Amino acid sequence: MTRLTVLALVAVAALGAWIAVGITAADAGDPTKPWHTADGFQNLPGAFNRDVPWTAYLRFSMARFGADEVPVLPPGHVLPEPQALADLAAMNGADSLTWLGHATFLIRLDGVTILTDPFLTDRASPFDFGGPTRYAPPGITIENLPPIDVIVLSHSHYDSLDIPTLEAMANKQDIQAVVPLGLGDIFRDLGFGVVHELDWFEAAEVDGLEITALPSQHWSRRTLFDQNKTLWMGAAIQSTELSLYFSGDSGYGPNFADLGGQFGPFDFGIIGIGAYAPREMMKATHTNPEEAVALAVDMAVRTVVGMHWGTIALGTEAPFEAPDRFLKAAQTLGFSPENAWILAIGESRRIR
């Protein structure tokens, strides 16, 4: 079967299989909010334009579809799961970060366990075939997750909002979810106990933490028919002692310095450093390693942590190129080695 034939079959299947996700927010189209439109949502003024020629999409699709070789994982890139579980247990409930791969982190703050952008299955796809496939396993599998108190979700794409992961989670009725506008019903329908559906600059009090939805520079879609019908976001997470910034998926733009001035400083910032090539396609929606560090500076982050790399191939850059570029950029912009982190998948580190 030729590559083009497979692409055509996937497109046909998508027409019949994808289920639209629509706006559920009552104030979509609010003229007082420039990110609201009559049809959905958009980035803040000044954001980089993501309109690119269709030929660029075709070149990218063919390059990604042809990338069948599974990369060889560098030594130590993924911890064995028994070690990851033992190391997490050794934290003894202290404030900590554990990278599970891609944008999925376990964050413990004030005894509360947060899971970001839960994606712990094999494919970022609505199907059991096709789509980007995981080449590095999760640090902790779904069945071995500790009890989760809070989910923080950044947007609707399949590598962040993974329905099979959410369906398989235990005790959903005890978990609170913090999600952008338009995505609340998915979590309610899946049986999550309390769902906080936030617009940018809105906050929720969750188990003693304050979680604020912040603008990111991205987009949303799960089907052929719902582009930008749901909002995307980063998040500021404030405990009694620490302030943490989770960027979600985002490109770099002129608005972050203002956000940092308003909501910073942050003790820790978890920021995407992968899926940045080709730049003509990715610049508007994913920071490259150097832009990720610049974003951290704008957001007044003291310790920056790289995410969204080394797990699943979404861009055309070399799969393990990002960390070196990130660490060099961090040094150039004044971060000490102790304040620029690249974690192994499954690694836990104390943050207080």
Q: What is the pLDDT of residues 127-144, one digit of tens each?
A: 877 778 999 999 999 999
pLDDT of 31 over the 90 cut: no
Question: Which of the four pLDDT bands, split at 50, 70 and 90, describes residue 4?
Answer: very low
Instruction: Say if residue 192's pLDDT is above 70.
Output: yes
pLDDT beyond 90 at 15: no
Name the average pLDDT for the chain.
90
Three-state DSSP at 52 gives coil
Predicted TM-score (pTM) of this structure = 0.91
| pLDDT of res. 70 | 86
Domains identified in the chain and CATH numbers: 62-350 (3.60.15.10)
Alpha helices in the chain (DSSP H): 3-17, 54-65, 81-90, 163-168, 184-189, 256-263, 279-282, 289-298, 322-332
Residues 279-325 pLDDT 10s: 999 999 999 999 999 999 999 999 999 999 999 999 999 999 999 99
Given a cut of 60, whether residue 119 has pLDDT beyond it is: yes
Contacts 24+ apart (CB under 8 A), 9-17: 10/127, 10/130, 13/127, 14/126, 14/223, 14/224, 15/224, 17/126, 17/127
- H, E, C per residue of 179-227: EECCCHHHHHHCCCCEEEEECCCCEEEECCEEEEEECCCCCCCCCCCCC
pLDDT class of 250 with cuts at 50, 70, 90:
very high
Residue 51: closest CA among 352, 349, 280, 306: 280
pLDDT attached to residue 130 = 73
- Side chain identity at residue 297, one-letter code: V
* Bond preceding residue 126 cis, omega within 30 of 0: no
For the segment 114-119, the average pLDDT, to the nearest whole number, is 98
Distance CA 139, CA 69 (A): 22
Residues 68, 287, 344, 93: what is their CA dihedral angle, to the nearest 10 degrees? Answer: -130
- Which of 43-57, 229-243, 309-323 has the least mean pLDDT? 43-57
